[in-house]
Amino acid sequence: MNLENNVTYELTLTEDEARTGVSKLLIRNNKKLQVSIPAGVTAGNVVKLTNALQVTDSKPGDILIRIRIQTKSAQTEKSPSGGVVEINENNFESEVLKSDIPVVVDFWAPWCGPCRMMAPVMERMADKYAGRVKFCKINVDENPGIAARYQAMSIPLLVFFRNGQVVDRSVGAITDSQLKIKLDSLF
């Protein structure tokens, strides 16, 4: 198979998931693929989904999933000065729904160009609004249940929460000033 026909994703697993194996849902072009990650994978391992592009893109090619391992300390890491907290299905409720301050969640994926454009905007605003608004990001490929629950059909998607309730949404990359307007409306 020609490498040009392959697509590569990165998948971050917890240490426990890597040790015991896990099944994850991959969404590409609104098509769902169940991915079984075998027990004992290590950082840098690649799981090959042979001819999976036939299912998702209607063309020949493989999907290659490069494994990253998130250490236990990184899973609970928070920046005291603000910063953007990486969240997942395990801590979504405690970080977002039970937060005592407003939260903006960036639904993103590493293969999404506009999502990468939003990262520095989110970082700058997290510094500016430290202590007043919590900034989180969640990878839609690694957390399909939460992505489906909040209808993250197009990314980047920013979902704004206050007291555990969705109060606003924004699809697509936006500027600092556009995000500031939305953040100021949370108070």
CA distance 170 to 179: 9
Q: Could you report how far apart the first and last alpha carbons of the chain are, in Å?
A: 54
Active site residues: 112, 115
Beta bridge partners of 134: 103
Q: One-letter amino acid identity for 138?
A: I
- 3-state DSSP assignment of residue 176: helix
Return the structure tokens found at 21.
């194996």
Please say whether the beta carbons of 26 and 143 come within 8 A.
Answer: no
Helix axes 176-184, 113-128, angle to 10 degrees: 50
